[in-house]
């Protein structure tokens, strides 16, 4: 009870009382390393033959836990151990030994920095009868981003919402503080010069970079590597939580961009002015001498935002007025402020004062004084250092924020004494695609740089100045058209770091080691487990795994962990998908191999609920070496080669019901009838016109030299799509130099040529028509049109650009239909078959994507290889004409639910089999957990520990697998969830250790041995599957491997779970049963079964009443769960509850896996749908309508 994670009401008598109800015969004391709990053990229990007994003769075994954090082979290790001790005296000696290593009165288990072999030596030096069983901060001055503004972490409370790595605000659940003596590390990135100082073990969100690029002669990153690098190793970068001590110069830290956009159209003065009086939509000051009327409603438009920016830089309030101070040379800005005040409120300046090279303009209005006082300050004191923006302004659309930033920059050119305002402008800059260089000049530093005077008066600074000294634009912005910002146009296009939609990636410039003596703090944050400091993202803690095989401890074997001391380890505590290289995935930029996909690619996914096609960033990329069986499925419409546990998008073959597509593992669908989905619903963009870009052309006169700009040309979209679709099929461009260029289109169908001629003439082009070899041909000579179309001008270069592929289904159909009129072919007996031929791979791929968006699908086959002879009617005389490139036939399929049955596979000689595979496999994870993949030209929608898990690792065969669980409270649903069942000649410590160490092999099973273990389904565990709690992302090991462990939402490293680690270590197939293995029983706690069936909480009155009745029936919970017959249960309790108990006993209740600190949840089918129980069955409470999940308890 001395641990924060445990109930403070735990006592040994209560543990005994509820252990009997649970059906436990021997209970571990737990935490014998804690001095206060050990004193209570000695005071309450008495010892006999290594077992401690209560006054009522209930037995306890001395157990404790210890965690080690240390470095082994340049890798951080975190391991958690269970200790069994033979006597109170031995425990006392353990206390003495551990006190020499550090503190033992920590909250929960003590943590030390020595190694696992040292632990073995230390314990064996005390007693060889001790059994060792392996089991599974920031400085106070640091500023953090909260919803109410920036504040020092020492001022944070559980009421604050903090900005997390997910770009959203989440609640602080707890603030932790401790005293720290030792080294701290300061990380200084480019741009954000203040950096972050933290204790060495504190994790931050970062990327380990490739620093020796042979192509760029530096660190590999997207902006430079795209142009020159052949390897592009940045594609394999994966953001992850890295301890700050492991960060090096030139690594990258991540900073979030606020993602959400919330527009505000209007503000009302009456909401800010307490003394304002309303009159027919106008407002006037009730306490002023004048009754000047102002419009109450303000349009929050670009003009208002720019004026607000001016005010934040140069404005102030005093004596019933708002004023602006400018340099006398800033005439343009002075005129702009006057114009804006007149436009917004109809107010002309009432006073202009010029002195000392400055101009002060004043606008007298008590209403506006009160309005700006309320809007632009965070404190009652209205001074420059208290200026700020309302929090909701950080979410405004970018075009409004551009004007706000423009006004602020014009006024102060990036200088402010307001820390709050500087951080808000930083957030706005990042939203606008700008990374500012930010530094802080302290008051001490300013005052030490000589003396400063104004009008003979010495100026002493009392506050820091925050300086935005440089702006790096990573996205297009209208700001660069403003002369104020033109100096930031980087001609060399060299920038530190890069940006994507979610983050700014900043290279580390310096790493410094400092000394600290005093308080350090940390936060526990709801869901996201992270918070954003001024210049970095910090994780709130390391909690994933302290397991010997855990993803963080990283040992691959007991021998690796303990070395030569492994011979003294006798038992281990239990608690421990991809495509081949040829598989491709559809991205926003086209098809690419899954192996080549990166975090910057938008992946084509399917929302299984709405069946809508959505493009999403991957959150994780996976690659790993795989040796074993692969699932191979090859039909005319599906081609798959995936790992056995890979998810497929399928529906059951029940043609009487509507198709319901879901995810299922390949191994569970083998040799079964199933339906595969190949289409989806596409919305896309709707536009009315198409823009042909502007172009520079010669003046066309002998009297002028140089070029002139021909402005962009807007043309009606639908006619353009008709022309473009047909031209992609039948058109080309030529450029012979000396102004000899042209756009051509030829076809034997006269009506089509005539239609194209009319369309082009309607656009205002002069069209020349002629006949060539019975082909109607038209030619247009317009340099602007030519400049746009020449990128598609050659047959092997044809494609549909992204601006067309992004259009709505209806508009796409126009372009597609006219392409088919040119290059399409109808085949089959009824002529309903449709195909097209092209030598352009990109066009081939685009046609597949367009077909998907039209609600059909397409696959392709090789038609003719390059160099093959061919003949065509227009070129009948050219018998030696050779194929210039491989040509492809694309077949368009209207039926997009593909059924596969065992009989069809046999009839058509399809392939569905398990094939041997030894090579790398790849995948990625996206929020929708579905991908549009293809193999050999055929596309289809596809998806992205317990003792059985341990049996798959042959290296563990020589160790007994025991099962124990912490008693975080004395309630039965928290007590003895996992247990080991012994058969002992006599209950003594010696016999227990003998059973654990040799399992009775030396003396026979008739004396002392482990008969079985009781397990909670491993999916219950908080770290069973991989995932990100903050992003609501759950990933199976197969999906994690596919996505290379990157979260599809935030693109950071997923928290890897136990199941993933088993997959890494397993050398046996899934489902392997170890010979002579200790059997196990997997149970769900009885109270959780009742709560699930009756849809209440485990602590509710309904659950407790029914639990008590069942205990009266069976004597103990374990007896009910394991032994009470089905007949007795059905007669005694509600039939649905009886069924759930039996299904739990038979391992038939599905568990929604836990991940990243979120517990798993049992899924009770049809809960709440049962009719009222008959009187003969039970008198238990009727089932309610809504089920709560375990996480609500």
* 775 and 870 share one domain: yes
Provide the CATH number for the domain around residue 232: 2.170.16.10
Quick one: pLDDT at residue 117?
85
pLDDT (average), residues 239-250: 79
Lowest mean pLDDT among 16-20, 1062-1066, 1141-1145: 1062-1066
* 308 and 175 share one domain: no
Q: Which two tokens stand for residue 1102?
A: 């309904």
The helix (H) or strand (E) run that includes residue 559 is: helix 558-562
* 635 and 525 share one domain: no
Q: How far apart are CA 907 and CA 718, in angstroms?
A: 46
Whether the pLDDT of residue 960 is over 90: the answer is no
In the chain, % of residues over pLDDT 90: 27
Total Cβ atoms within 10 A of residue 512: 11
Q: What is the DSSP letter of 176?
A: E
Whether the pLDDT of residue 604 is over 90: the answer is yes
Total Cβ atoms within 10 A of residue 649: 23
pLDDT (average), residues 80-94: 90
* 366 and 349 share one domain: yes
* 376 and 407 share one domain: yes
Q: How far apart are CA 969 and CA 17, in angstroms?
A: 12
Quick one: pLDDT at residue 625?
65
Of 345, 342, 334, which Cα lies nearest the Cα of 310? Answer: 334
Q: What is the DSSP letter of 527?
A: T
Using DSSP, state whether 309 is helix, strand or coil.
Answer: helix
pLDDT band at 1078 (very low <50, low <70, confident <90, very high): low
Q: How far apart are CA 713 and CA 779, in angstroms?
A: 19
Using DSSP, state whether 70 is helix, strand or coil.
Answer: strand
* 480 and 610 share one domain: no
Q: How far apart are CA 33 and CA 1159, in angstroms?
A: 27
Burial 152-187 (b: 16+ CB within 10 A, else e): ebeebeeebbbbbbbbbbbebeebeeeebeeebbbb
Whether the pLDDT of residue 682 is over 80: the answer is yes
Whether the pLDDT of residue 1155 is over 50: the answer is yes
* 804 and 918 share one domain: no
pLDDT digits (tens, 9 = 90+) for 804-824: 999 999 999 999 999 999 999
Whether the pLDDT of residue 1076 is over 60: the answer is no
Whether the pLDDT of residue 881 is over 70: the answer is no
pLDDT (average), residues 4-25: 79
Q: Which two tokens stand for residue 873?
A: 């009617």
In the chain, % of residues over pLDDT 70: 78
Whether the pLDDT of residue 267 is over 70: the answer is yes
Q: Which two tokens stand for residue 554?
A: 């990283």
Total Cβ atoms within 10 A of residue 278: 12
Q: What is the tally of structural domains in the chain? A: 6
Phi, psi of 1105 (to 5 degrees): -60, -45
Whether 522 is covered by a domain: the verdict is yes
pLDDT digits (tens, 9 = 90+) for 177-190: 666 666 788 888 88
Whether 737 is covered by a domain: the verdict is yes
Q: How far apart are CA 718 and CA 711, in angstroms?
A: 21
Whether 921 is covered by a domain: the verdict is yes
Domain boundary among 106, 135, 164: 135
Whether 678 is covered by a domain: the verdict is no
pLDDT digits (tens, 9 = 90+) for 544-576: 334 444 444 445 555 556 566 555 555 444 433
The helix (H) or strand (E) run that includes residue 653 is: none
Q: How far apart are CA 661 and CA 676, in angstroms?
A: 8
pLDDT band at 615 (very low <50, low <70, confident <90, very high): very high
Provide the CATH number for the domain around residue 751: 3.10.28.10
Contact present, 1025 and 1154 (Cβ < 8 Å): yes
DSSP string, 1044-1081: TTB-TTT-SB-B--HHHHHHHH--S-TT---TTPPPEE
* 464 and 334 share one domain: yes
Q: In angstroms, what CA-CA distances link 299 with 268, 340, 956?
A: 9, 12, 71
Euclidean distance between the first and the last CA atom of the chain, given in angstroms as a whole number: 20
Number of separate helices (H) and strands (E) present in the chain: 29, 68
* 274 and 420 share one domain: yes
Whether 742 is covered by a domain: the verdict is yes
Quick one: pLDDT at residue 967?
59
Contact present, 485 and 409 (Cβ < 8 Å): yes
Q: How far apart are CA 180 and CA 676, in angstroms?
A: 59
pLDDT band at 948 (very low <50, low <70, confident <90, very high): very low
Whether the pLDDT of residue 356 is over 80: the answer is no
Quick one: pLDDT at residue 950?
46
pLDDT digits (tens, 9 = 90+) for 767-794: 999 987 778 999 999 999 999 999 998 8
Quick one: pLDDT at residue 1169?
41
With tokens 């599809």, the residue in question is: 1048
* 851 and 906 share one domain: no
Output the CA torsion sign for 853, 856, 857, 863. negative
pLDDT digits (tens, 9 = 90+) for 119-148: 888 988 999 888 877 654 556 566 777 877
Domain region containing 908:
584-669+901-944
Quick one: pLDDT at residue 458?
57
Domain boundary among 112, 135, 158: 135
Whether 425 is covered by a domain: the verdict is yes
Whether the pLDDT of residue 80 is over 60: the answer is yes
Quick one: pLDDT at residue 683?
92
* 124 and 148 share one domain: no
Quick one: pLDDT at residue 429?
92
* 476 and 364 share one domain: yes
pLDDT (average), residues 650-656: 79
Whether 913 is covered by a domain: the verdict is yes
Whether 1028 is covered by a domain: the verdict is no
Q: How far apart are CA 990 and CA 692, in angstroms?
A: 87
pLDDT digits (tens, 9 = 90+) for 1013-1034: 777 777 777 677 888 877 888 9
Q: What is the DSSP letter of 468?
A: E
Q: Which two tokens stand for residue 11?
A: 């006592």
Domain boundary among 929, 944, 959: 944
Q: Which two tokens stand for residue 553?
A: 């401890």
pLDDT digits (tens, 9 = 90+) for 365-421: 888 998 999 999 987 788 888 999 988 899 999 999 999 999 999 988 888 989 889
Quick one: pLDDT at residue 731?
94
Of 475, 474, 465, 408, which Cα lies nearest the Cα of 438? Answer: 465
């Amino acid at each position: 009870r001395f641990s924060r994670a445990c109930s403070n009401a735990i006592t040994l008598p209560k543990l005994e009382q509820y252990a009997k109800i649970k059906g436990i015969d021997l209970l571990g004391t737990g935490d014998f390393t804690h001095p206060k709990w050990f004193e209570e053990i000695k005071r309450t229990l008495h010892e006999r033959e290594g077992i401690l007994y209560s006054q009522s003769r209930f037995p306890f075994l001395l157990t404790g836990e210890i965690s080690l954090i240390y470095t082994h082979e340049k890798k951080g290790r975190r391991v958690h151990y269970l200790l069994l001790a033979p006597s109170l005296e031995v425990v006392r000696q353990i206390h003495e030994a551990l006190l020499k290593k550090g503190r033992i009165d920590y909250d929960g288990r003590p943590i030390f920095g020595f190694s696992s072999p040292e632990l073995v030596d230390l314990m064996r030096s005390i007693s060889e009868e001790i059994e060792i069983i392996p089991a599974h901060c920031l400085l106070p001055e640091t500023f953090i981003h909260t919803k109410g503004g920036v504040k020092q972490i020492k001022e944070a409370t559980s009421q604050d919402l903090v900005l997390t790595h997910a770009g959203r605000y989440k609640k602080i659940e707890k603030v932790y503080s401790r005293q720290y003596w030792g080294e701290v590390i300061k990380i200084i990135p480019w741009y954000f010069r203040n950096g972050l100082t933290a204790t060495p073990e504190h994790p931050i969100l970062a990327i380990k970079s490739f620093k020796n690029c042979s192509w760029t002669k530096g660190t590999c990153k997207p902006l430079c590597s795209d142009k020159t690098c052949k390897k592009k190793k940045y594609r394999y970068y994966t953001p992850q939580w890295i301890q700050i001590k492991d960060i090096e110069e030139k690594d990258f830290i991540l900073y979030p961009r606020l993602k959400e956009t919330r527009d505000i159209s209007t503000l009302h003065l009456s909401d800010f002015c307490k003394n304002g009086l309303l009159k027919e939509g106008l407002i006037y000051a009730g306490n002023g001498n004048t009754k000047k009327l102002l419009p109450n409603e303000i349009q929050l438009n670009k003009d208002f935002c720019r004026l607000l920016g001016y005010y934040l830089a140069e404005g102030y309030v005093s004596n019933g007025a708002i004023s602006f101070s400018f340099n006398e040379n800033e005439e343009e800005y002075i005129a702009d402020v006057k114009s804006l005040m007149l436009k917004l409120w109809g107010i002309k300046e009432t006073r202009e004062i010029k002195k000392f090279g400055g101009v002060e303009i004043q606008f007298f209005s008590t209403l506006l004084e009160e309005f700006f006082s309320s809007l632009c300050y965070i404190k009652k004191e209205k001074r420059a250092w208290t200026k700020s923006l309302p929090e909701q302004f950080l979410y405004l659309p970018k075009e409004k924020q551009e004007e706000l930033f423009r006004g602020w920059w014009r006024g102060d050119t990036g200088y402010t004494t307001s820390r709050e305002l500087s951080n808000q402008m930083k957030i706005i800059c990042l939203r606008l695609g700008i990374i500012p260089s930010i530094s802080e000049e302290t008051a001490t530093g300013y005052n030490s740089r000589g003396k400063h005077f104004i009008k003979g008066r010495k100026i002493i600074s009392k506050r820091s100045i925050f300086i935005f000294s440089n702006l790096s634009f990573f996205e297009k912005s209208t700001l660069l058209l403003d002369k104020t910002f033109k100096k930031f146009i980087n001609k060399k296009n060299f920038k530190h770091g890069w940006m994507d939609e979610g983050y700014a990636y900043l290279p580390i410039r310096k790493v410094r080691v400092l000394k600290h003596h005093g308080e350090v703090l940390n936060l526990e944050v709801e869901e996201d487990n992270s918070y954003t400091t001024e210049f970095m993202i910090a994780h709130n803690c390391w909690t994933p795994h302290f397991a010997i095989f855990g993803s963080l401890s990283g040992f691959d074997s007991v021998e690796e962990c303990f070395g030569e001391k492994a011979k003294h380890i006798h038992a281990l505590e239990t608690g421990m998908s991809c495509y081949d290289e040829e598989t491709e995935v559809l991205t926003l930029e086209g098809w690419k191999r899954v192996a080549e996909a990166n975090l910057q690619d938008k992946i084509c996914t399917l929302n299984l609920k709405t069946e809508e096609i959505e493009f999403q960033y991957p959150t994780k990329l996976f690659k790993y070496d795989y040796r074993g069986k692969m699932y191979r499925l090859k039909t005319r419409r599906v081609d798959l080669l995936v790992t056995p546990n890979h998810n497929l998008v399928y529906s059951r073959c029940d043609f009487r019901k509507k198709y319901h597509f879901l995810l299922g593992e390949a191994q569970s669908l083998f040799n079964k009838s199933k339906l595969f989905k190949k289409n989806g619903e596409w919305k896309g963009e709707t536009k009315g016109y198409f823009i042909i870009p502007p172009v520079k052309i010669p003046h066309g006169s002998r009297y002028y030299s140089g070029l002139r700009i021909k402005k962009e040309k807007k043309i009606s979209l639908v006619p353009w799509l008709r022309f473009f679709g047909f031209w992609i099929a039948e058109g080309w461009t030529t450029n012979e130099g000396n102004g000899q260029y042209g756009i051509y289109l030829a076809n034997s169908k006269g009506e089509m040529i005539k239609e194209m001629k009319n369309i082009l003439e309607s656009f205002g082009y002069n069209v020349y028509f002629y006949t060539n070899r019975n082909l109607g041909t038209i030619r247009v000579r317009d340099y602007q049109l030519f400049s746009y179309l020449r990128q598609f001008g050659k047959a092997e270069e044809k494609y549909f650009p992204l601006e067309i592929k992004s259009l709505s289904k209806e508009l796409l159909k126009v372009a597609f239909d006219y392409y088919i009129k040119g290059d399409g072919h109808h085949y089959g007996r009824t002529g309903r078959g449709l195909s097209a031929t092209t030598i352009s791979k990109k066009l081939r791929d685009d046609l597949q994507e367009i077909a998907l968006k039209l609600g059909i699908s397409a696959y392709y086959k090789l038609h003719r290889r390059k160099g093959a002879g061919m003949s065509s009617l227009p070129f009948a005389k050219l018998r030696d004409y050779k194929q210039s490139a491989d040509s492809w036939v694309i077949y368009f399929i209207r039926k997009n639910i593909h059924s596969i049955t065992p009989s069809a596979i046999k009839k058509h000689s399809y392939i569905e089999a398990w094939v041997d595979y030894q090579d790398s496999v790849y995948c990625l994870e996206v929020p929708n957990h579905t991908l549009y993949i293809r193999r050999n030209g055929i596309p289809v929608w596809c998806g992205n520990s317990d003792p059985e898990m341990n049996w798959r690792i042959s290296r563990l065969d020589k160790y007994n697998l025991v099962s124990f669980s912490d008693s975080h409270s004395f309630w039965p649903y928290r007590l003895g969830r996992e247990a080991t069942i012994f058969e002992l000649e006599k209950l003594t410590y010696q016999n227990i250790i003998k059973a654990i160490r040799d399992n009775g092999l030396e003396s026979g099973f008739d004396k002392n041995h482990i008969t079985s273990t009781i397990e909670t389904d491993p999916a219950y565990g908080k770290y069973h599957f991989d995932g990100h709690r903050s992003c609501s992302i759950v990933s199976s090991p197969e999906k994690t491997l596919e996505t290379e462990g990157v979260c599809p939402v935030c693109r950071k490293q997923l928290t890897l779970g136990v199941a993933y680690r088993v997959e890494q270590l397993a050398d046996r197939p899934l489902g392997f049963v170890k010979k002579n293995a200790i059997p196990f029983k997997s149970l769900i706690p009885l109270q959780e079964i009742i709560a699930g069936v009756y849809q209440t909480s485990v602590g509710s009155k309904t659950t407790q009443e029914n639990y008590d009745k069942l205990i009266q029936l069976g004597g103990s919970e374990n007896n009910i769960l394991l032994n009470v017959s089905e007949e007795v249960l059905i007669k005694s309790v509600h039939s649905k509850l009886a069924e759930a108990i039996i299904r739990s006993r038979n391992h038939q209740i599905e568990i929604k896996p836990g991940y990243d600190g979120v517990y798993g949840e049992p899924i009770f089918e049809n809960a709440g749908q049962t009719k009222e129980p008959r009187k003969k069955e039970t008198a238990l409470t009727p089932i309610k309508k809504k089920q709560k999940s375990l996480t609500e308890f």
